[in-house]
């Protein structure tokens, strides 16, 4: 998330304005015009002035002058923060525009090009330089690379004099290219060895790229410089590029599938056997040999060797070195790393699990003997959801096929693996290579400082009956879907960054350890750029995990409700979509005229629980007129800054804050409103929708002070109308008397019986696609619908990415990340009852027994783009339908598909090169299905039907008795 400045927001244009040619800075004689760069006063006097470029100057009818500006960001304000190759006077030209009072301009400054900046004799306080344009919303740069190292391997430092090649635009230390600093200052042109090689050849043939100076010393210097550059050409080419992480697949079987290593019970292998160790060492040695024989010494850093489920490695190197790897003997595939992102007191009852738990042992047995692996942000081992039961109910089952490890580290001692948590590891080499980590939050241990990993693990396998208490209010008891399952933790995502490299390494290790279920409530932040979706290294890792007998479930993504927004593509991973349950937490604002306005928020009522009414004050009617602060939305309307409000007016009042520009562009937060309320002593707050911005989306989250959100414009107008009717104003519009009264109702008491399930608005939709151009695929995605909206589960009190949840042990979250562990837990229960079932049989049972209908008997509905809108869902919204675990235990028939079938599926796709399939999977196309829709899935998806097509399915009877299934002709 890009950092943005507090106190700055876009203003809505008003009529009666006129453009100005210039403006004289207040208190000075300096004139600024459009195109000038200026220093602007920040709201926090302890911060340096902001730098902006003036795009427009205008005055309103009262001659108040405002400027439209485009902001420059300092490196520390960008995603990733300041790095060693960012200079002290460097700025990034952002895409963040704003309108500010001209009075906030403090002075003029100059933003140079870097080339001109390096030639300044004396750098003044007003001198800056800019090399990049920066997209504040995404953190992307243009250009998207910078030379971080010179040939000497010393870091690039723009605060020292550097020399830039006019061809490739890379920068070098003068000494490294054979010139002095003084000589560098005199150079008008410079070409590096690669770019000047042709010029040198032409020079030898009597041709010159530029006139030769008649100064003997200069000519001698140039000749010497060219000679030196030619000698170090290859080194410079390596170190001038910015490094990246590359995932590499090699020829040869991984340990799990090597012919000399026998699988146990048809799926698991023993990584500690002598044969496994010998083959693993052979693979690692082959990785090192390829790197040493192909790449230049010092040009790379190997991060991981993948050897258990896939054969390959991850390397941190330059693009030019990666190109060499593609040509190396034994290398099948080279893929650039992508980033990853993070995609129950009540849901067990929604799914009917208490009845399911009535089998022998009940919840004391549900999931017993099953190990669930979680690749996520780690786990909080101190949480009661993961406590060992102790002697009263010990873990008696011996998990003979599992062999994990407990990696101790900060906040995670060795005894954190307590029997409930049977293994915990962390993977950070990719993260450390990609960005500077923050030691205070990027903890190098399995400990979870985010909360996401703990939430996911407890939803699937948390202990049963754990009290949920937040802000001293008891919400009920939480339980995982399979509360007796064991937990294996693989931390691979960090607050600063997450890489697929670390995730793939975690998957490789989880298969080696012997997990039964692999839960991925994380995923790539974009489709692969250079390959089809099914053949990315990440998807291939999941394919081979499936081949090893691991049930893999993945979050569908949170980019709905648009079509083809899923980030889970492959048929060998079950993709979970998210839905609402029938539970709601209604909140309310009680007005003095007796009207109750519906709100959102887990809030305690104001004192008196609605029987006592308090003064109702609109924030912009309570401004501190003696304060010095920008008159922007964050200050005036959105209650972001205590200094903007008159404490004598707001103390003990319910304050109306308005959703405006700051919330619309993501710079304002509920946390800031709560802090303001606490500092100034509000009785409570109300955040109301703004007609200028429309309805907003509100989630039920806990407030530490009384407050409620009113996200609908229609409801906010009711509040506004009542307030204006009761408020007395003078002729200038200032309030003389606040007569409006209100109270905030209790928003923590749940109600039940609402229509459900409903596909959540954010849940990513199909159709599935095969490439970045979103060409459709013959696979149904998502696969299944599960509860994922407002789910209570364990949380880490550190909560470093969500300050509003800081200090809480539980959180009510929404996302397909929350739906995924529901499916994982159900798969664990099915596996426990049917230990011989393959992953495809479990997936089939879940899909064929799902329901298409809601609790009122109608087709499941889905939320649309408009807030509050619903439409009848399709299979591209909900997959097979809403999961029904009780029926999934005994589906009668299943549709199995195994590794060879997935290869045949890939070979049946017309748009996939067979050599690419061989490179990714190691298997040649020997058999095709004729059409990819013939893959034996519990669904039929045909992306482009011309005429008619016959598809085939094979069923296996898994019922305890003979069953008859009548055939019904389809209706015409």
Residues spanned by CATH 3.50.30.30 within the chain? 586-745
Residue % of the chain over a pLDDT of 70: 85
Residues spanned by CATH 3.40.50.200 within the chain? 340-582+755-891
User: What are the pLDDT digits (tens) for 306-338?
Assistant: 999 999 999 999 999 999 999 999 999 999 998
DSSP H or E stretch at residue 875: helix 875-878
User: Other CB atoms closer than 10 Å to residue 330's CB: what's the count?
Assistant: 15
* pLDDT band (50, 70, 90) for residue 84: low
CA distance 309 to 276: 12
User: Rounded mean pLDDT of the chain?
Assistant: 84
CA distance 623 to 816: 42
- What is the predicted pLDDT for the residue at 662? 87
- 376 carries an active-site annotation: yes
- What is the predicted pLDDT for the residue at 110? 93
Distances (CA, A) of 712 to 551, 696, 697, 726: 42, 7, 9, 22
Mean pLDDT lowest for which of 59-63, 408-412, 547-551, 890-894?
59-63
Collapsing DSSP to helix, strand or coil, 201 comes out as helix
Strand-strand pairing, 551-555 and 574-580: parallel
Catalytic residue among 299, 416, 817, 908, which?
817
CA 141-147-153 angle, 5° bins:
145
Catalytic residue among 376, 582, 771, 778, which?
376
User: What are the pLDDT digits (tens) for 571-630?
Assistant: 999 999 999 999 999 999 999 999 999 999 999 999 999 889 999 999 999 998 887 788
CATH class of 586-745: alpha beta
User: What are the pLDDT digits (tens) for 251-289?
Assistant: 999 998 886 555 544 446 778 888 889 999 999 999 999
* pLDDT band (50, 70, 90) for residue 202: very low
Query: What is the gyration radius of the CA atoms in the chain, in angstroms?
Result: 31
* pLDDT band (50, 70, 90) for residue 227: very low
User: What are the pLDDT digits (tens) for 695-742?
Assistant: 888 888 899 999 999 999 999 999 999 999 999 998 888 999 999 999
Residues spanned by CATH 3.30.70 within the chain? 244-261+269-336
- 452 carries an active-site annotation: yes
- What is the predicted pLDDT for the residue at 123? 83
Catalytic residue among 452, 455, 789, 822, which?
452
The architecture of the domain spanning 244-261+269-336 is: 2-Layer Sandwich (3.30)
Residue % of the chain over a pLDDT of 90: 55
Greater confidence, 382 or 45?
A: 382
Are residues 673 and 707 in contact, defined by beta-carbon separation less than 8 angstroms?
yes
User: What are the pLDDT digits (tens) for 775-801?
Assistant: 999 999 999 999 999 999 999 999 998
Collapsing DSSP to helix, strand or coil, 518 comes out as strand
Residues spanned by CATH 2.30.30.490 within the chain? 18-147
Greater confidence, 926 or 161?
A: 926
Sign of CA dihedral 381, 382, 385, 387: positive
CATH topology of domain 18-147: SH3 type barrels. (2.30.30)
User: What are the pLDDT digits (tens) for 798-811?
Assistant: 999 888 899 999 99
**What would the CATH number be for the domain defined by 340-582+755-891?**
3.40.50.200
* pLDDT band (50, 70, 90) for residue 398: low
Mean pLDDT lowest for which of 59-63, 643-647, 650-654, 671-675?
59-63
Mean pLDDT lowest for which of 146-155, 267-276, 831-840, 868-877?
146-155
CA distance 402 to 412: 21
The residue-averaged pLDDT of 926-930 equals 83
User: What are the pLDDT digits (tens) for 831-846?
Assistant: 999 999 999 999 999 9
CA 909-912-914 angle, 5° bins:
100
CA distance 180 to 161: 10
CA distance 306 to 300: 17
- What is the predicted pLDDT for the residue at 224? 40
Furthest C-alpha separation in the chain: 101
């Amino acid at each position: 998330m890009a950092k943005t400045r507090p106190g700055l927001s876009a203003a809505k244009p008003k009529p009666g304005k006129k453009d100005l040619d210039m403006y004289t800075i207040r208190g000075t004689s300096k004139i600024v015009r459009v195109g000038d760069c200026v220093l602007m006063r920040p709201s926090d006097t302890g911060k340096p002035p902001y730098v902006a470029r003036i795009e427009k100057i205008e005055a309103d009818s009262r001659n108040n002058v405002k400027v439209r500006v485009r902001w420059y960001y300092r490196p520390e304000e960008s995603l990733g923060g300041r790095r060693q190759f960012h200079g002290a006077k460097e700025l990034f030209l952002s895409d963040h525009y704003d309108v500010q009072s001209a009075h906030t301009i403090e002075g003029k400054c100059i933003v140079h090009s870097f080339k001109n900046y390096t030639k300044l004799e004396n750098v003044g306080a007003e001198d800056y330089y800019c090399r990049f344009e920066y997209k504040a919303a995404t953190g992307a740069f243009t250009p998207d690379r910078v030379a971080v190292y010179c040939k000497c391997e010393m870091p690039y430092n723009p605060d020292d004099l550097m020399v830039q090649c006019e061809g490739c635009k890379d920068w070098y230390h003068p000494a490294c290219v054979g010139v002095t600093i003084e000589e560098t200052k005199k150079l008008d042109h410079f070409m590096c060895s690669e770019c000047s090689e042709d010029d040198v050849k032409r020079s030898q043939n009597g041709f010159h790229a530029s006139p030769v100076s008649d100064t003997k010393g200069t000519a001698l210097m140039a000749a010497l410089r060219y000679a030196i550059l030619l000698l170090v050409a290859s080194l410079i080419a390596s170190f001038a590029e910015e490094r990246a992480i590359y995932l590499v697949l090699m020829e040869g079987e991984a340990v799990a599938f090597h012919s000399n290593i026998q699988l146990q019970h048809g799926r698991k292998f023993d990584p500690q056997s002598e044969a496994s160790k010998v083959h693993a060492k052979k693979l690692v040695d082959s990785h090192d040999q390829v790197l040493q024989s192909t790449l230049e010494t010092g040009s790379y850093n190997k991060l991981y060797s993948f050897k258990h489920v896939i054969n390959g490695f991850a390397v941190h190197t330059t693009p030019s070195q990666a190109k060499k790897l593609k040509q190396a003997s034994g290398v099948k595939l080279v893929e650039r790393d992508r980033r990853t992102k993070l995609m129950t007191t009540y849901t067990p009852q929604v799914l009917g699990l208490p009845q399911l738990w009535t089998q022998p042992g009940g919840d004391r047995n549900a999931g017993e003997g099953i190990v669930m692996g979680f690749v996520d942000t780690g786990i909080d081992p101190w949480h009661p959801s993961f406590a060992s039961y102790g002697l009263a109910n010990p873990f008696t089952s011996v998990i003979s096929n599992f062999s994990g490890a407990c990696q101790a580290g900060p906040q995670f001692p060795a005894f954190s693996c307590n029997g409930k948590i049977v293994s915990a590891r962390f993977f950070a080499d990719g993260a450390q290579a990609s960005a500077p980590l923050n030691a205070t939050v990027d903890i190098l241990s399995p400990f979870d400082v985010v909360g996401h990993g703990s939430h996911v693990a407890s939803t699937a396998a948390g202990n049963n009956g754990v009290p949920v208490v937040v802000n001293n209010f008891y919400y009920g008891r939480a339980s995982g879907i399979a509360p007796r399952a064991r937990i294996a933790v693989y931390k691979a995502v960090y607050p600063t960054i997450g890489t697929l490299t670390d995730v793939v390494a975690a998957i490789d290790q989880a298969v080696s350890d012997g997990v039964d279920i692999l839960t991925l409530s994380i995923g790539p932040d974009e489709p692969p750029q250079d390959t089809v979706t099914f053949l990315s290294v990440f998807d291939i890792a999941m394919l081979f995990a499936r081949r090893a007998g691991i049930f893999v479930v993945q979050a569908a993504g949170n980019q709905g409700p648009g079509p083809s927004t899923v980030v889970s593509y492959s048929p060998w991973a079950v993709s979970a979509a998210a839905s609402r349950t029938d539970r709601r937490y209604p909140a309310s604002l009680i007005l003095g005229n007796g009207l109750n306005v519906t709100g959102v928020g887990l809030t305690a009522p104001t004192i008196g629980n609605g029987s006592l009414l308090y003064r109702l004050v609109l924030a912009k009617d309570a401004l501190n007129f003696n304060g010095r602060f920008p008159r922007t939305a964050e200050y005036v309307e959105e209650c972001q800054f205590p200094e903007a409000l008159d404490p004598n007016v707001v103390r003990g009042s319910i304050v109306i804050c308005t959703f405006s520009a700051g919330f619309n562009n993501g710079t304002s937060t509920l946390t800031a409103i709560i802090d303001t309320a606490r500092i100034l002593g509000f009785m409570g707050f109300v955040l109301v929708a703004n007609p200028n911005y429309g309805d907003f989306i509100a989630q039920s989250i806990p407030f530490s002070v009384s407050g409620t959100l009113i996200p609908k414009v229609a409801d906010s107008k009711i509040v506004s109308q009542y307030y204006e009717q009761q408020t007395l104003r003078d002729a200038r519009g200032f309030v003389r008397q606040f007569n409006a009264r209100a109270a905030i109702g209790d928003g923590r008491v749940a109600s039940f019986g609402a229509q459900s399930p409903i596909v959540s608005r954010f849940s990513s939709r199909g159709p599935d696609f095969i490439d970045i151009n979103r060409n459709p695929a013959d696979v149904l995605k998502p696969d299944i619908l599960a509860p994922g909206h407002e789910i209570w589960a364990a949380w880490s009190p550190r909560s470093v990415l969500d300050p509003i949840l800081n200090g809480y042990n539980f959180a009510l979250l929404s996302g397909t990340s929350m739906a995924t562990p529901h499916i994982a837990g159900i798969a664990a229960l099915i596996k426990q009852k049917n230990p011989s079932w393959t992953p495809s049989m479990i997936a089939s049972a879940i899909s064929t027994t799902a329901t298409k209908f809601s609790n009122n008997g109608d087709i499941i509905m889905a939320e649309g783009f408009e807030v509050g809108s619903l439409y009848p869902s399709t299979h591209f919204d909900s997959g097979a339908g809403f999961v029904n675990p009780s029926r999934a235990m005994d589906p009668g028939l299943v549709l199995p598909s195994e590794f060879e079938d997935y290869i045949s599926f890939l070979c049946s796709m017309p748009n996939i090169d067979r050599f690419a399939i061989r490179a990714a999977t190691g298997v040649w196309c020997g058999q095709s299905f004729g059409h990819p829709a013939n893959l034996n899935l519990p669904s039929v998806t045909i992306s482009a039907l011309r005429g008619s097509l016959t598809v085939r399915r094979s069923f296996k009877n898994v019922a305890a008795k003979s069953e008859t299934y009548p055939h019904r002709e389809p209706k015409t």
